[in-house]
Structure 1
Amino acid sequence: MDIRRAIDPDQVRAAAHLFDGPPREDATRSFLAAAGHHMFLAYEDGGPVGFITGIEIHHPDKGVEMCLYELGVDAPYRRRGIATALIAELAALARESGCYDMWVPVDTDNEGALATYRATGAKDDGVCAVLLWEFGR
């Protein structure tokens, strides 16, 4: 497995099958250009098989933390350590960047994601709820 930082929209387009929907050109360019926005792609068999995105969040009273925003691994490549390696890559970047922690929003019924995150050392803080305002696309 080879993990590389995504720096070019062509890399993201080549990994389109890993996302919930087709990557939008404008959103891809904006994400890749934004300070504190990070994307890594995992490659096997000559193509992308997984990705992770992270966003640094700056707080005036706390410092900087990393939000693991999204993680995806192509179904035929799951349970091979790809997600674990991607999480480790983002966590290493977070540490190097001086983040005081890393957190992830996850659906409470997504047992696969919960198991993966817990296996890499994440713990449920027991107090966080995610509330959502939807503005449409």
Structure 2
Amino acid sequence: MEIRRITEAGAVREAGGLFDDPPVAEATERFLADGRHHLLIAYLDDVPAGMVTGVEMTHPDKGTEMFLYELGVAESFRGRGVGRALTSALADLAHARGCYGMWTVTDEDNVPARAAYQGAGGTAEEGQTVLVWTFDQG
């Protein structure tokens, strides 16, 4: 398995099936242009097998941490440690960039994601609540 840090939109398009929806050109360019945004893609035999995105977040009293924004593994490559490897690679990148930690949120019943995160050293924080705001884009 080879994990590459992606900086070109063409690689995102080629791995489009790893995302929830097809990548949007303008959003892809904006994401890749920001040095605090990170996209790693795992390749098996030069085929995109999985991806992880991370965003560095800085707060005045805490410093910088990495938010693991999304992890996706192609169904045909699941169960081979791709998600765990991508999560570990993002954690290594976060550490190398001076982040004090990394965090993410997933559904309690998302067993594959929880296994990947915990297999890469993450621990669940009990008693947390996630709140969301959804804005009309029309």
- TM-score with structure 2 length normalisation? 0.95
Which residue of structure 1 aligns with residue 95 of structure 2?
95
The answer to whether the aligner puts 1:128 opposite 2:133 as a matched pair is no
Task: Tell me which amino acid in the other structure corresponds to 2:110.
Answer: N
RMSD: 1.0
Matched-pair identity in %: 47
Contact 2:66 2:102 in 1 (8 A): yes
Summarize the alignment of residues 18-97 of structure 1 with structure 2, pairs less than 5 Å apart.
18-97=18-97
Deviation at 1:45, TM superposition (A): 2.4
Aligned partner letter, 2:126: G
Instruction: Give how far 1:5 is off.
Output: 0.7
Assess if the C-alpha contact under 8 Å between 2:87 and 2:116 holds in 1: no
The aligned residue for residue 113 of structure 2 is 113
Unpaired runs of at least 5, structure 2: none
Alignment partners' CA distance in 1, 2:74 and 2:136: 27
Over residues 61-115 of structure 1, what are the superposed CA-to-partner deviations in whole Å (9 max), with x where a residue is unaligned? 0100000000011011111111111111111111011111100111122122112
Q: Distance in 2 between matches of 1:104 and 1:66?
A: 9
> Number of aligned pairs?
137
TM-score (norm 1): 0.95
CA distance in 1, matches of 2:16, 2:66: 24
Structure 1 stretch displaced more, 61-70 or 102-111: 102-111
